[in-house]
């Protein structure tokens, strides 16, 4: 399972690196709303709870308390702050991440940022994209991408809000399924962001 966690964090880190390096491309386009899936009942041993992170600007439900991790990465115009909240349940890793771009995102279209996120996911060795679709959350553009490698199956959603990328992700061994994937992904909500 350590391989899965490492692959997931590697996906996010590569996406962040690409976001910091590439120039702006494309123009604004309308995204279709992300349909809210019917919540799949989780096994009774899971204790779902909504966790709110006002300083990060979101809330999300986890079946166990998530661990918080924070990293920074230098970029040409400053520092990118990456904060993740992850829980490990059976063979699944559930993560929500906040990637604060600061000046690195100035002038970049949502399409450019989201396209580079997808490129970051595909850079992980032996990974191919199974499905992708445009989504939105409260009027903010996003992308849902499903990828698979020889070891890991990942479904991730990314939303761009001003200069911040929000990412939710479920990662499981390639032969497994997490029955509450939709429940987790659909629970992500934007809330009023407080100043640190």
CATH number at residue 120: 3.40.1000
Question: For 148-166, what is each residue's pLDDT tens digit?
Answer: 988 899 999 999 888 788 9
In terms of residue numbers, what domain contains 116? 2-23+55-171
Pairing mode, strands 67-75 and 58-62: unpaired
In a domain, 17, yes or no: yes
CA 49/CA 176 separation, integer angstroms: 24
Flag the least confident range among 11-15, 19-23, 62-66, 128-132: 19-23
Instruction: Flag whether 38 is in a domain.
Output: no
194 in a structural domain? no
Give the per-residue pLDDT at 15. Answer: 47
Q: Which residues of 61-86 are buried (b: 16+ CB within 10 A; e: fewer)?
A: bbbeebeeeeeeeebeeeebbbbbbb
d(CA 79, CA 184): 30
Q: Count of domains in the chain? A: 1
pTM for the whole structure: 0.76
In a domain, 11, yes or no: yes
pLDDT-above-90 percentage for the chain: 40
Residue 61 belongs to a domain: yes
- Residue 119 has a pLDDT of 73
Among 4-18, 66-80, 180-194, which is the least confidently predicted range?
A: 4-18
Q: How many Å apart are CA 185 and CA 188, to the nearest integer?
A: 6
Residue partners of 108: CB distance under 8 A and separation at least 6: 23, 24
Q: Does any domain span residue 133?
A: yes
Closest CA to 101 of 117, 81, 86, 83: 81
Q: 50-55 contacts: CB < 8 A, separation 24 or more?
A: 50/187, 51/85, 52/191, 53/85, 53/98, 54/191, 54/192, 54/193, 54/194, 55/193, 55/194, 55/196
Question: Is 101 within the bounds of a domain?
Answer: yes
Within 8 A by CB and 6+ apart from 1, the residues are 88, 91, 93, 173
* Residue 72: inside a domain: yes
């Amino acid at each position: 399972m350590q391989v899965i966690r490492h692959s997931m964090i590697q996906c996010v880190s590569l996406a962040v690196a690409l976001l910091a390096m590439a120039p702006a491309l494309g123009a604004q386009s309308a995204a279709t709303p992300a349909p809210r899936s019917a919540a799949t009942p989780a096994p009774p041993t899971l204790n779902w709870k909504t966790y709110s992170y006002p300083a990060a600007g979101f809330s999300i439900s986890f079946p166990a308390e998530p661990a918080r991790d924070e990293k920074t990465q230098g970029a040409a115009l400053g520092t990118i702050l990456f904060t993740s909240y992850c829980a490990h349940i059976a063979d699944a890793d559930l993560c929500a991440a906040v990637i604060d771009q600061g000046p690195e995102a100035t002038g970049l279209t949502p399409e450019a940022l989201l396209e580079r996120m997808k490129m970051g996911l595909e850079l992980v060795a032996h990974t191919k994209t199974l499905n992708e679709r445009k989504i939105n959350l409260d009027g903010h553009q996003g992308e849902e991408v499903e990828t698979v490698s020889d070891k890991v199956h990942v479904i991730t959603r990314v939303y761009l809000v001003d200069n911040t990328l929000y990412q939710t992700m479920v990662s499981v061994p390639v032969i497994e399924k997490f029955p509450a994937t939709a429940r987790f992904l659909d629970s992500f909500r934007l809330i009023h962001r407080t100043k640190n």
